[in-house]
């Protein structure tokens, strides 16, 4: 809960990668494993079926899902929640929300993933 935690966040979970052929539930599971937080995917305003892949989600939503840039997406524990959510929208055209590990409470956009994982909100 301080400067040491913030420094640690820069090094922990340094890379989180997403492949277009991965199922959404696999991406979410890996996100929990890396950041101790839930990552929820949306199809429009409804939670997307976890059995869909990123490519499959493209066929199920009116918004184009661009899976060609996936290799550029890097997420770190020091990033703010709002920035992570925006990255998914910018890179893939996908709406996501970061929630607590159980997927019940939304995490505030202004704190980092590391702070959220430690429950500092």
Q: How many CB atoms lie within 10 A of CB 63?
A: 15
The two tokens of residue 111 are 């704190």
Q: Which residues contact 32 (CB under 8 A, 6 or more apart)?
A: 38, 39, 101
> What is the model's pTM?
0.79
Cα–Cα distance, 12 to 34 (Å, whole number): 9
Cα–Cα distance, 93 to 109 (Å, whole number): 18
Which is higher by pLDDT, 117 or 66?
A: 117
pLDDT at position 4: 53
Query: What are 31-41's pLDDT values in tens digits?
Result: 999 899 999 99
Q: What whole-number percentage of the chain has pLDDT above 90?
A: 42
pLDDT at position 13: 47
Residues 88, 70: contact at Cβ < 8 Å? no
Does residue 58 register a pLDDT over 70? Answer: no
The CA–CA distances, whole Å, from 11 to 5, 17, 73, 114 equal: 10, 16, 16, 11
Confidence label for 21 from pLDDT (cuts 50, 70 and 90)? confident
Query: What are 62-101's pLDDT values in tens digits?
Result: 555 555 554 557 788 889 999 999 988 888 888 999 999 9
Read off the pLDDT of each residue in 53-70 and give the average, rounded to a whole number.
63
Q: What is residue 96's three-state secondary structure? A: strand
Averaged confidence pLDDT in the chain = 81
What are the percentages of helix, strand and coil residues in the chain, rounded to 5? 40, 15, 45
Q: How many CB atoms lie within 10 A of CB 59?
A: 9
């Amino acid at each position: 809960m301080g400067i040491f935690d913030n420094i640690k966040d820069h090094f922990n979970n340094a890379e989180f990668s997403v492949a277009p052929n991965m199922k959404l539930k696999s991406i979410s599971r890996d996100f929990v494993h890396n950041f101790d937080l839930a990552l929820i995917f949306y199809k429009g305003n409804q939670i997307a079926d976890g059995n869909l892949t990123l490519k499959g989600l493209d066929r199920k939503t009116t918004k184009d899902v661009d899976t060609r840039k996936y290799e550029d997406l890097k997420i770190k524990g020091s990033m703010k929640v709002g920035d992570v959510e925006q990255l998914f929208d910018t890179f893939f055209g996908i709406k996501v929300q970061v929630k607590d590990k159980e997927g019940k409470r939304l995490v505030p956009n202004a704190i980092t993933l590391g702070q959220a994982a430690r429950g500092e909100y």
